Amino acid sequence: MLSPAARHVPASVVIVNWNAGDMLRACVESLADDARRGCAVVVVDNASSDGSATAAAVACPWVTVVPAGRNLGFAAGANLGATHAAGDAVVFLNPDARVLPGAVPELLAALADPRVGIAGGGLLDERGRWQPGAARFSPVGHLLLDTTLGRLPARWRRRPYRVDWVYGTFMAVRTALFRQLGGFDPAYFLYGEDMDLCHRARQFDARTVHVPEARAVHGDNVSAGKRFGIGREAEVVKGELRFYRRRGRALELEVFRRLGAGKFGAKAALAGLLGRRRTAATYWRVARACLETST
C-alpha cells in the first residue's frame, strides 16, 4: 500500500485512545470501507497500558499508530493526530464509537458547502436509541433547552442543519480551518474543547452543522469512565465552565454556575428520593462543580 504522502487522501480519521480496550478495535474496524476508499486512519495512543492500540494495529494494518508518550488528553492528542493527517478534512472519532456504513462520506459531504467549516454526526447508543450530538452556546438555552424535551425536534431531523456547536465524538473539520484556528485549545484536557473550537470557527464566519444521517454508535465512554468514574458528568460541566471563563464571558459564567447548581441539585434530590443513590451522587457532583470558583 502506498504511503499517505504518495497518494491522494480525501480525508483522515483521527482517534485519540487511552485504554479503550476492545472498543478501539471495533472502532477502527468500522472504518475499513473508508480506508479502502482512501481515508487515512490515525490512532494517537495516550500511553495506554492495556495494549489496545497494538491490538487494533494488528487487526487493521492500514492504521497508523502515533505514540503520545503520555496521556495528553483529548485536545492535545487530537492536535498531534492532525499533524499526521492528510486530505482536505480531518475527522475526529471517539474510540468508543463505531461509524455505520456510509457515515464518513455523508459527514464529509456537508463540507461541500463552502460556508460550512465543521460538521458533526448523528449519534446512537448501543440499542439504537438517539443521542444528542449538538448544543447551544447560551447557558440558559443549553441548560434549559438542550434537554430531553427541548431536543425532541432534533430527533426528527434528517437533513443537515446549522447549530452552535457539535460534539467531538464524531466531527469533521476542514483541514485549512483547523490549522487556521491552531487546532483544539490544549488548555482543555477533556470536555469543552469541541465547544471552544466551534465558537472560534464562528468568529471566522465558518458555520457548524449537524448531520443526522451520518451516524455513529456511541458506547459507554469507556476511557472517561475509567478515569473519572461517577465524576464524569461533573467533568463535562467543568469543561463547559472553562469555556465561558476562557472566552471572557463573566455574566454567562455566573448564569451557568447558578442555574446549573439549581438544576442538577434538584435532579440529585429527586434521584435521592427515588432511591437512585448512584444517580443522586452523580448529580450532586455536577451541582458542586457548578459552584466551584475554578475549573
Give tens-digit pLDDT for 60-112: 999 999 999 999 999 999 999 999 999 999 999 999 999 999 999 999 999 99
Q: What share of the chain is helix, strand, coil (3-state, %, to 5)?
A: 45, 20, 35
Given this model, what pLDDT does residue 142 score? Answer: 93
> What gap in Å lies between CA 143 and CA 57, rounded to an integer?
40
Given this model, what pLDDT does residue 152 score? Answer: 83
Name residues whose C-beta falls within 8 Å of residue 125's C-beta, 6 or more positions apart in sequence. 131, 217, 218
Contact 63, 56 (CB under 8 A): yes
In this structure, are 142 and 264 located in the same domain? no
> What gap in Å lies between CA 117 and CA 201, rounded to an integer?
7
Ranges of residues in the chain whose predicted pLDDT is under 50 = 1-9
Helix, coil or strand: residue 2? coil
In this structure, are 188 and 259 located in the same domain? no
61: containing domain: 4-224
**Set of cell numbers at residue 43:** 490512532
In this structure, are 118 and 155 located in the same domain? yes
In this structure, are 192 and 238 located in the same domain? no
In this structure, are 258 and 153 located in the same domain? no
Given this model, what pLDDT does residue 253 score? Answer: 94
Contact 256, 240 (CB under 8 A): yes
Of the candidates 224, 250, 265, which is a domain's last residue? 224
Given this model, what pLDDT does residue 228 score? Answer: 59
Among 161, 166, 232, which residue's Cα sits nearest to residue 193?
A: 166
Does pTM surpass 0.85? yes
In this structure, are 124 and 238 located in the same domain? no
In this structure, are 145 and 23 located in the same domain? yes
Of the candidates 179, 199, 224, which is a domain's last residue? 224
CA distances from 124 to 18, 69, 90, 103, 132 (A): 22, 32, 22, 12, 8
Q: Domain count of the chain?
A: 2
In this structure, are 192 and 91 located in the same domain? yes
Among 216, 232, 241, which residue's Cα sits nearest to residue 291?
A: 241
In this structure, are 20 and 139 located in the same domain? yes
What DSSP designation does 111 have? G
Name residues whose C-beta falls within 8 Å of residue 266's C-beta, 6 or more positions apart in sequence. none
Antiparallel, parallel or unpaired: β 89-93 and 11-17: parallel
> What gap in Å lies between CA 189 and CA 79, rounded to an integer?
12
In this structure, are 101 and 236 located in the same domain? no
In this structure, are 201 and 241 located in the same domain? no
CATH number at residue 209: 3.90.550.10
In this structure, are 35 and 67 located in the same domain? yes
Given this model, what pLDDT does residue 1 score? Answer: 31
Of the candidates 179, 194, 224, which is a domain's last residue? 224
